[in-house]
A and B are shown apart, each in its own frame.
Chain A
Amino acid sequence: MDYLLHILIVALIYGIFAISLNLELGYTGLYNFGHVAFFGIGAYTSALLGLSGLPVSLSMALGMAAAGVAGALLAIPALRLTGDFFGIATLVFAEMVRLFFVNERWLTKGPMGLPGIPRPSWIGEGIAGLPMFLIFCILLTVLVALTGRRLATSPFGRALKVVREDEYVAQTLGKNVLSLKIRAVILGSVLAGLAGCLWAHYISYISPSDFTLNETILVLLCVVLGGKGTNWGPVLGAFIIIFFQEALRFLPIPADFGRLVAPLQGMVYGFVLILIMLKRPEGIVSEYRGSRQC
């Protein structure tokens, strides 16, 4: 049973991560291919502060704040770029952040990573803390998802969708497009930071290799598989992906084929990504678009 709790927790964390990307990709139409950077910044900040003895809830809040600040720092200059150029800028940003984690050994302990990250004191370490951590994650996911839903129906959210569909229309309507986008990225970064904090304190060990392009692709897959621009689609996508990954553990794989599992998994992800784009770009849960279907 404990193992199921473990998977649920991981799936929920990725769910939050996916919601945060969806905010940018789904609602606002920003191609952020470096979203993992904010997950990583949140995780590292919170882990380092937690390890230095700060109460975990405080360090998590600071972790989210750090991710938000980083988001703002990236967004303000980079959002002047259009489309794919913004994508590349974010991709490169994520790589730079990762290289920073690898090379600044005095701070991050480099590739060795940070072991022994504490959990919030009221949750408890080890297995005894699993149910509490799950409840904590469920609460946060629901909170984040509800915020997302509230946002989608708010004037802000509707304005974001107009930006996604046509920037000029948004401008004509008197909306400050740049400011809207920046706010979307900051919010997305803060939430990605939250997911990162949860991950670090849950798994208790982080290293730079946890924050590579692969993670971005995984969460991108969660979003587009579940349905971008929807409230629950990304969470559903995260559950499917995480359960699929863990299910592989129970398959009896002969030792000779062990080497092949990871690449095969990667090929499946790549293939599914292409297939969704070709056949059902809206994902499993499709976005409600009034009477217009496209």
Chain B
Amino acid sequence: MKKIIFLLTGFCFFFSGAYALAGTNEVVVGSVTPLTGKLAVYGEGFQQAMLLALDEVNASGGINGKPMKILFEDNNSTSKGSVSGIQKLIAIHKFPVIFGPAASSNFLAVCPIAQDNKVILIGAESAASAISTCGSYVFRVFPSDLGQGKGVAELTDNLGYKKVVLTYVNNDWGVGLAEVFKEQFLKNGGKLIDEFAHDEGKTDYRSEILRIKKESPKAVVNITYIKEGATMLKQAYETGVNVQWLMGSASKSPKMVALAGGAAEGVIGTYPTFSQETPQYRAFKEAWARKYPGKKMPIFGEYNYDMVKLTAKALKGAQSMSPDDIRAALIKASKGYIGVTGDKTFDANGDISATYGRWTVKGGKIGDYK
């Protein structure tokens, strides 16, 4: 028993030491970012893009003279870790603004916590349509799936496919997008021959492929990720399935093309896009090259950059550091704000609008579909 008490006091001391953090003469914002775990590959890029924006904010005078800082909290790329992380940011540091984690499921897990505690939560890479209804303190600078689902339906329609098989990755993102697609597609007079979900991260999708083969459709709408998409394309090719694959934005990656090894040829998909011809984008590109010479621009880095810049603008205009004042300032700041990724004006749900482009794979390279 003595040993137990001794151990516990030891731990308590250890933790009390960890509280000496954060000064008063600066404006600090929290961020739950995947720095370890399966999304760490992307998390590092998000972090770098945020830090780039932060440098620029502080170079031009910070927040009304005070320097701005971001405290990064890791989430192990899991929803559990995200909840733990945001609880630490809210409980210990009491930050009024927190940048939410990547992946919709992680973001959705922390949404109610932010809303209940009246803390502003901003996301830069979560697309699930359910996030729109999270609450009044939740915003995102990334477009919702709703638009993209409609985009895929229009694409299918334009290409003249009236009967398709629909398959989607079995998570919030896939299901959300599939539902929007289905509604729009059926409204346009299309017909679904078969529809089923496929699990994330499997190595063998032959059973799913066979189910597609059985119906011998002309086109398959496959709303999935990079690895899953590549594996399915490859195994469909091996099984001798000849269809037109229609995909969403999440599988648009050179890695998908590389993993599928030639089987990705001819795939067509949609993705939210923004013009790369604007002065904002060019400035971002130059700034990136200056700060991280030789480093490739990360996926969704532009959105993270916009998020920090927009937040800084809002913090400057806020009457006090209370979440309600910041919230009002954020909505005001976003009105007509043109960032690297386009217009960031928040609507009533804290969402932004977006335009959609089309991509295709030709000769082993991803290009725009015309």
CB of A2 within 8 A of CB of B175, answer no
**Does any Cβ of A come within 8 Å of B108's Cβ?**
yes
Instruction: Please give the residue numbers on chain A whose beta carbons come within 8 Å of chain B beta carbons, in ascending order.
Output: 2-7, 102-103, 105, 110-113, 115-116, 125-127, 130, 203-205, 207, 209-210, 232, 236, 239-240, 243, 246-247, 249-250, 253, 255-256, 258-262, 284
A-B contact pairs, 6 of them (CB 8 A): A103-B170, A105-B175, A127-B91, A253-B74, A259-B36, A262-B76
CB of B36 within 8 A of CB of A115, answer no
C-alpha spacing A63/B90, complex, angstroms: 30
CB of B112 within 8 A of CB of A205, answer yes
A130 contacts across to B, CB distance below 8 A: 91
CB of B91 within 8 A of CB of A2, answer yes
C-alpha spacing A116/B79, complex, angstroms: 13
Given contacts A105-B175, A111-B172, A255-B35, contact A3 B112 (CB under 8 A): no
B73-95 Cβ-contact flags toward A at 8 Å (1 or 0): 11010111001100110111000
Interface residues of B in 1-59 (CB under 8 A from A): 1, 3-4, 7-8, 11-12, 14-16, 18, 35-37, 40-41, 43-44, 47
**Does any Cβ of A come within 8 Å of B116's Cβ?**
yes
How many residues of B sit at the interface, in one of the four size bands? 35 or more
CB of A113 within 8 A of CB of B36, answer no
C-alpha spacing A196/B87, complex, angstroms: 19
CB of B171 within 8 A of CB of A110, answer yes
B16 contacts across to A, CB distance below 8 A: 4
**Does any Cβ of A come within 8 Å of B347's Cβ?**
no
C-alpha spacing A247/B92, complex, angstroms: 15
CB of A203 within 8 A of CB of B36, answer no
Instruction: Please give the residue numbers on chain B whose beta carbons come within 8 Å of chain A beta carbons, in ascending order.
Output: 1, 3-4, 7-8, 11-12, 14-16, 18, 35-37, 40-41, 43-44, 47, 73-74, 76, 78-80, 83-84, 87-88, 90-92, 105, 108-113, 116-117, 130, 170-172, 175, 197, 199-200
C-alpha spacing A249/B44, complex, angstroms: 17
C-alpha spacing A203/B109, complex, angstroms: 9
C-alpha spacing A127/B117, complex, angstroms: 8
A205's contact among B1, B7, B79, by CB below 8 Å, is which?
A: B79
CB of B172 within 8 A of CB of A258, answer no
CB of B4 within 8 A of CB of A111, answer no
CB of A205 within 8 A of CB of B109, answer yes
A258's contact among B40, B79, B197, by CB below 8 Å, is which?
A: B40
A240 contacts across to B, CB distance below 8 A: 7
CB of B105 within 8 A of CB of A250, answer no
A243 contacts across to B, CB distance below 8 A: 11, 14-15
B18 contacts across to A, CB distance below 8 A: 250
Majority secondary structure, B binding face: helix
C-alpha spacing A213/B92, complex, angstroms: 32
B110 contacts across to A, CB distance below 8 A: 205
Q: A3-B15, A258-B36, A284-B3 are in contact. List 8 more A-B contacts (CB 8 A).
A: A5-B91, A113-B109, A127-B117, A205-B113, A207-B79, A258-B44, A258-B74, A260-B36
CB of A113 within 8 A of CB of B7, answer no
CB of B36 within 8 A of CB of A204, answer no
Given contacts A102-B199, A110-B171, contact A207 B109 (CB under 8 A): yes
Q: Which residue of A lies closest to B15 (CB)?
A: A4
Q: Which residue of B lies closest to A250 (CB)?
A: B18
B79's contact among A102, A110, A113, A127, by CB below 8 Å, is which?
A: A113
A4 contacts across to B, CB distance below 8 A: 12, 15-16
C-alpha spacing A111/B15, complex, angstroms: 34
Taking the nearest CB of chain B, how far is it from the CB of A20, in angstroms?
Answer: 20
A125's contact among B36, B90, B116, by CB below 8 Å, is which?
A: B116
CB of B11 within 8 A of CB of A239, answer yes
Q: Which residue of B lies closest to A105 (CB)?
A: B175
Taking the nearest CB of chain B, how far is it from the CB of A138, in angstroms?
Answer: 13
C-alpha spacing A246/B81, complex, angstroms: 10
Given contacts A204-B113, A262-B37, contact A6 B88 (CB under 8 A): yes
CB of A111 within 8 A of CB of B171, answer yes
A239 contacts across to B, CB distance below 8 A: 7-8, 11
CB of B87 within 8 A of CB of A6, answer yes
Taking the nearest CB of chain B, how far is it from the CB of A266, in angstroms?
Answer: 11
B73 contacts across to A, CB distance below 8 A: 249
C-alpha spacing A262/B108, complex, angstroms: 22
Given contacts A110-B175, A115-B111, A125-B116, contact A258 B35 (CB under 8 A): yes
Q: Which residue of A lies closest to B8 (CB)?
A: A239
CB of B88 within 8 A of CB of A249, answer yes
CB of A102 within 8 A of CB of B11, answer no
C-alpha spacing A246/B47, complex, angstroms: 22
Q: Which residue of B lies closest to A207 (CB)?
A: B79
B1 contacts across to A, CB distance below 8 A: 232
Taking the nearest CB of chain B, how far is it from the CB of A214, in angstroms?
Answer: 10
C-alpha spacing A247/B172, complex, angstroms: 32
CB of B35 within 8 A of CB of A115, answer no
B105's contact among A2, A5, A113, by CB below 8 Å, is which?
A: A113
Taking the nearest CB of chain B, how far is it from the CB of A203, in angstroms?
Answer: 5
Taking the nearest CB of chain A, how far is it from the CB of B38, in angstroms?
Answer: 9
